[in-house]
Amino acid sequence: MPGNKAVAYQGPGRVEVVDIDYPTFELTDGPGVNPANVGRKVPHGAILRTVATNICGSDQHMVRGRTTAPEGLILGHEITGEVVETGSDVEFVKVGDIVSVPFNIACGRCRNCKERQTGICLNVNPDRPGSAYGYVDMGGWVGGQAEFVLVPYADFNLLPFPDKDQALEKILDLTMLSDIFPTGFHGATTAGVGVGSTVYVAGAGPVGLAAAASAQLLGAAVVVVGDLNADRLAQARSFGCETIDVSAGPVEDQLEQLLGVPEVDCGVDAVGFEARGHGVEAAREMPATVLNGLMTVTRAGGALGIPGLYVTGDPGAATQEAKVGSLSLRLGLGWAKSHAFTTGQCPVMKYHRGLMQAILHDKVAIAKAVNATPIPLDQAPQGYAEFDQGAARKYILDPNGYLGAAA
C-alpha cells in the first residue's frame, strides 16, 4: 500500500507536510472528525490519486487562526484527481477517470441534493447541513491537499472529464471547477449579472477574480474590481476589468468617475468576514464594511451575490459580537432598496459541467485570470505564507507530478 503525504494545519500561522494513512472505505477518528462519523462505511466512495489540489482563501482563514479548526486537521477542498480504486457500490465512475471533485460533499439522496442545493446536504455532516473536505465543523472528511484522498458518493459527486489527454492539457483551468470558478460564477449569477450589466466585485483574490471573469462570461458591460492590494488589482486589469483602490476614497465616488453614476446593477462580495475598512479606515478590520458598502453602491432593485465566507465562530475577531458571526449590517438600507441577497456555499454541481464545457471549448481562460501557479506539495508552507502576504496568485499543489508531466 502506498504512503500518503498531506498538508496539516498545526496552529495559527503554521502548516506542515505530514505522513498520514492511505485512505480506506471507512471514516476513522482524527483531528476534526465528527465523532458521529467515526466508523462510517463508504462503499459508495472512490479513492483518488490527486492530480491537482489548490490553496484557497477559505483554508487561509483557518491557517490564520480565525476559526475553531483543531491542530492536525488535514487541509484541502479543491481537488482534481485520477480514480485509482472504487468501493463496492460504485457503478459508473471507473478506475482511470480524471475527475473534478466539488468541494461540497453531497449524498445525492436527501431533499436538498434532489433540489440541487448540494451545498447544504442533510446527510454528510451530523452537526448541520453542508459539508466539505478538510474544513472545520464540516463533518471531518479528510482534506485533499494530499497524495491520495477518499471521495464519498462517488457516482453522484465526481465530474469525469470526457477525454484524459485533453483534460491534462487544460488541467490548470479544469482544477478551478472544484470551487473558485463555480463559486465566482454563483456570486455573479445570484447578483443578477447579465448582458449589459455593470458589476462591482469587492475583493481581487482568486474568488473575486473568478467572479469577475464569470461576469464577463455572462455578458457584463463593465466589471469593476475593488481591493487594497495593488498586485491583485493589476491582475484584474490584465483581463479587462476596471479597478478601484478602496483605500483611496469612497467606492461610490470612484464608481462615478468610472461609470458616470455612483452605482452599479450588481454587487458581489468576494471578501468575507476578514474585511477591512475603506478610505482612512483601510488599516482596520471591519467585518461588515463590504456588505454595507455593496448595499450603498448597488442600485435599488439590484442584487448582492455573497460568496465571501462568513463564520459562526471567529476567535480572532475584534469584538465579542463578531466572534460569533454577528455583524453591524445596515439591513434597513438593503430593505429600503429592495435588494436581494444570496449567501452560503456555492452548490458546485449546479454549474460545474457547463463551466467545464466553457473551458474545453476555449470560451474562458480562468487559470490565466486567477494567475494559477503550480508548486510541489512540499512547498505548501511557502505557498500559504506567500498567499497570506497578498500574492496575486492562485497556488496549485502538485502532489504526484501530473502538472509537471502535463507541462
d(CA 80, CA 324): 33
Q: How much is the mean pLDDT over the chain?
A: 94
Cα separation values, 64 from 61, 67, 100, 272, Å:
5, 8, 27, 14
pLDDT band at residue 1 using 50, 70 and 90 as cut-offs: low
What is the tens place of the pLDDT at every residue in 44-63? Answer: 999 999 999 999 998 998 99
Q: Say if residue 357's pLDDT is above 70.
A: yes
pLDDT band at residue 322 using 50, 70 and 90 as cut-offs: confident
Provide the CB-side half-sphere exposure for 72 (13 A, CA).
Answer: 7
pLDDT band at residue 363 using 50, 70 and 90 as cut-offs: very high
Of the options 3.40.1390.30, 3.90.180.10, 3.50.50.60, 1.10.1200.10, the CATH number for the domain spanning 5-179+347-406: 3.90.180.10
Q: Say if residue 407's pLDDT is above 60.
A: no
More confident residue, 2 or 218: 218
d(CA 211, CA 203): 10
Q: Between β-strands 159-160 and 98-101, what pairing exists: parallel, antiparallel or unpaired?
A: antiparallel
Which CATH number is 183-342 given? 3.40.50.720
Instruction: Extract the C-alpha cell encoding 180.
Output: 473558485
d(CA 364, CA 173): 9
Q: Say if residue 278's pLDDT is above 80.
A: no
> Is 37 in a helix, a strand, or coil?
helix
Q: How many residues does the chain have?
A: 407
What is the tens place of the pLDDT at every residue in 223-241? Answer: 999 999 999 999 999 999 9
pLDDT band at residue 161 using 50, 70 and 90 as cut-offs: very high
* Sequence spans of domains, the chain: 5-179+347-406, 183-342
Instruction: Extract the C-alpha cell encoding 234.
Output: 493589476
- Region of 390 please: left (phi>0), alpha (psi -120 to 50) or beta: left
Evaluate whether 77 touches 132 at the Cβ level (below 8 Å). yes
Evaluate whether 53 touches 144 at the Cβ level (below 8 Å). yes
Section 243-265 average pLDDT: 96
pLDDT at 222: 98
Specify the DSSP class assigned to residue 132.
Answer: B
pLDDT at 17: 98
Section 187-214 average pLDDT: 98
> Is 202 in a helix, a strand, or coil?
strand
pLDDT at 313: 80
Closest of 135, 139, 63, 51 to residue 101, by C-alpha: 51
pLDDT at 272: 86
What is the tens place of the pLDDT at every residue in 325-337? Answer: 888 899 999 999 9
pLDDT at 283: 65
Q: Name residue 183's amino acid.
A: T
Section 203-208 average pLDDT: 96
The 3-state secondary structure of 269-337 reads: ECCCCCCECCHHHCCCECCCHHHHHHHHHEEEEEEEECCCCCCCCCCCCCCHHHHCCCCCCCHHHHHHC
Do 183-342 and 5-179+347-406 have the same topology in CATH?
no
Report the sign of the C-alpha dihedral through residues 383, 387, 391, 396, in that order. positive
The cell 486567477 sits on which residue?
Answer: 370
d(CA 166, CA 261): 45
Specify the DSSP class assigned to residue 389.
Answer: T
d(CA 46, CA 23): 10
d(CA 87, CA 92): 11
Evaluate whether 152 touches 14 at the Cβ level (below 8 Å). no
pLDDT band at residue 128 using 50, 70 and 90 as cut-offs: very high
